[in-house]
Chain A
Amino acid sequence: MGFERDNTASEEVLRRDFLRQIYAASAAAWMSSEPKSLMGSEIKETENSGGALRTEPTADACILLWMGGGMAAPDTFDPKHYIPFRKGLPVREMLSTFPAIDTAVSGLRICQGLERIASVMDRGTLIRSAVQEDLGSILHSRHQYHWHTGYVPPQTVACPHLGSWIAKVLGRRDSVIPPFINIGQRLEGVGESEELKAFTTAGFFGSEYGPMNLPVPMDAAKAVLPPAGMTDRRFSERRNLYKRLLDARESRDQVSDYQTNSILRSIDNAHELLSSKDRHAFDLSREDEGSRRLYGETRFGQGCLLARRLVESGARFVEVTTEYVPFLHWDTHANGHETVARMHRDIDAPIAQLVLDLESRGLLDRTLVVIASEFSRDALIEGVPGSNAADQATEKVEAVSEMKHYGLHRHFTGGTSVALFGGGMKRGFVYGKTADQRPLVAVENPVTIADLHATILTAMGISPQTGFEVEGRPFYVTKDGTGKSVNELFASS
């Protein structure tokens, strides 16, 4: 007898209810070493606490489009005076290396090369005043860790990724799709992979809430298929054998204990996903050729398409990255202009298409799409003015003498752009501002990582003061519970 996979609708609903229950049970904190929610414990909430772990959400799912490596705001979402390439151009005069173009929002201009995104800016909110901390020496890995966990490394406990917090507090949606899926970042065989792994984790929450990593979106289907070389039929026969052997045990007295049940539930959960119809969401080959092309044949483009499919099938939090590899992609330490022009091509169509597809499916209202990076870039200043960040530009010249000198080659933490689409955010709205002349720091409404996280979490219905007790100490989803949601960004405000 094969494993039944095509249940009737009502059975499907029943099964899902059942799944939710067993999922919750298998994830229950039953050992005292697991983090406990602070709610209801004797530790008091911070005084600015919202009072509850959960608030009314404006989004059910979140897609983080991660521009790993440091996306230069002046060459993307925050154009300054355009200075074209010319031999002998003094570097100190260089501001933006792309001209600005109009967008669907009157008066809002972004950089040339992002025409498709420009056409959907009326669906989103643009923050131009995101700021990051100057960590002395600006390093991608530390800033990425900070951005993804809300905490500056090193920390005394292993901090969970933002996606793990969301998975822990909200769990799965009405679906077998794991709550936290991470697309596009290879964690083996790339530079700084150990540093990447350090925040690509559920940390102290344990791997139940960790990311399901899909480094190559085109191969995602494989992650939910039986192992290579195993047919579906054999896969279900194997499961059948497993169950029959368990049933054949002579002494079944121990089968009822908690730990055994917990193991069996997890194995069941896994098989439910590996045998459910929802797993087809992972399979890009089921998308018709035309819509695949709309997203572009890059890993990032296909990652965006995969994210859309997963959210359609009930994913909770999906991160899609352009991938951080030292000195590649957004990590423009040299030849910045030409590299950014290529990055524009990589992201423009997929991001716009993702927004449009979500909208046409009626999902954009309840899906928050976030475009962010660990910091911005500048041609001249490393860190923020007056910082002691070490200069890591590889092409240090006073004047541009060839094309590879033309670009924004230095890490800059004083003013970064973040775009938010859907999920309850205002539409066609711009928040904050950076100076028009160097230093290009945020001069209005600076938004820290803690506040940005608070905003995302609030949209998802999670209080920024949500905390858990870890090793006896309180640990909060935003740094020490201090993150404050930027309420002006919400459509309802």
Chain B
Amino acid sequence: MSTPSRQPQGDVWKLSKLGCAGSRFALSRRSIDGPREARQSESKTAHRLLSGVMNYSDPSIVASTDAPFLSLNGVRKTYPGVVALDGFSIEVRPGEVIGLVGENGAGKSTLMKILGGVTRPDTGTIIVDGAAHDGLTVEASIGSGIAFVHQELNLFENLDVAANIFFGREPLRAGPLKLVDRARLRALAAPLLKRVGANFSADTPVSALSLAQQQMVEIAKALSIKARLVILDEPTSSLPIAETDKLLGVIKALKADGISVIFISHRLHEVERVADRVVVLRDGMLAGTLPKSAINHDQMVKLMIGRMLKEREKAAESARPPGSVALSVKAIRTAAYPDRPVDLDVRHGEILGLAGLVGSGRTELARVLFGIDKSFGGSFQLDGKDLVLGSAADAVANGIFLVPEDRKLTGILLDLSIAQNISLPNLPAHSRRSLVSASAEAATAEKQKTDLGIRAPSVQTRTGTLSGGNQQKVVLAKWLAMKPKVMILDEPTRGIDIGAKAEIYGLMRALADAGVAVLMISSDMEEVIGVSDRIAVMHEGQISGILDKERFSQENVLLLAVGKQPK
């Protein structure tokens, strides 16, 4: 819940106390109530001071800096019981890359909805390209050149790239049949793809593209509608490092074309790399604006949650040396790479990080270890005893649990209550004579809710209404309520806010300290290196190497991930 009565002056004070250069300019723009011209000229000066990298030798860009493409003034939006945005203001200039960060629930999604015309603000004005609106419609948003690239891609996998870019706007051949002019379609798509630096042709089927390439298609689509502001919503959350670099390159190319970008991400080091200015949202309010020179990880985190994160460091400190081998697999093969046998040992009391590029077979390996998929040959041993996994039920019965990658699809049942989700894998223990005992369910859930700090009105709350971080805690809770021996976590912190992330790191470490073997799959390099005791790296279906703590480095992980030897 937000505290709507808080004054923005408080943030000015906080920022100036941090002593970051230029931040007072950023905020004074908002708080000065003087004549409009004075305000504008000052904001111009401020902008010049702030955007260190802008190319002033290009006259078109200098001219365009005078008028922001988009500005929001005092936008407020309330939902039942929640103030989602509270007097938020922002200006986006042509060719400017704005990093937008904030915890989940800080108001980012609401802001996106307002910009996309999906919802109208209660009060405040939106000025797009000089025209003032009380609220946008979807058509107005598209018409004025605002384009979105969402975290979940909206491409038709069965169509090719060109057909996706121009879907619904295909060039037609003359004649009454209105057939699609395929040649022209490709000819139109090719230059767009070139602009985003794509290394694939317009007739490639989308299903054959990697995630980053699919995002390029989305951006090309945005360019095709002559977008002047591209909003990227968590574009890198599912991308491995190498692909992320490509995407950040595309953002720079957009910027060079004078297109503005709003880059929303939980991955702060990426924001650090591309943003000209970082806008931090907290509780629906502007927590602060960081100019280029003041953008760094710690500042952003400070503004986002107002305190420093020690949890990741804490998670990295293991309290005990790793114990005996818990789960050992020999020569198991997954359906994705049936010709690549995998050997892997996970020890009691350790967090084993499993890194690798997307598509390297990590999730498939996790599915086999959890019994969802069958292994093609190979053997499993749990605590030295042979193990046969015919289904996930077998894995669960043996204390091997999986927190899957896709929380909403496979992790929890959104329609069930928290208590029902937590008891589901262990329902017979919550029943008497095959009849479910609601009181036993509630008791288990209450304990987990307290232990994990699940924020919800009650354990009877529908899980679908919770935030991502709290949903993830419910997934963890259902396994923690049983006795885990091996805990596999597939991208456990994807798309959840930084506060909840820290809590999940703490939980993983607590599990390891209690002797559980923890296997954590992650594409977040900082996370893998920060949290793991050992790192196994996968490359094309095989473990290409295992790094001990002394050899942890981004470079080594990356080298192994592309199949080369580490230093």
Do A and B truly interact? no
Interface, chain B (partner A; CB < 8 A): none
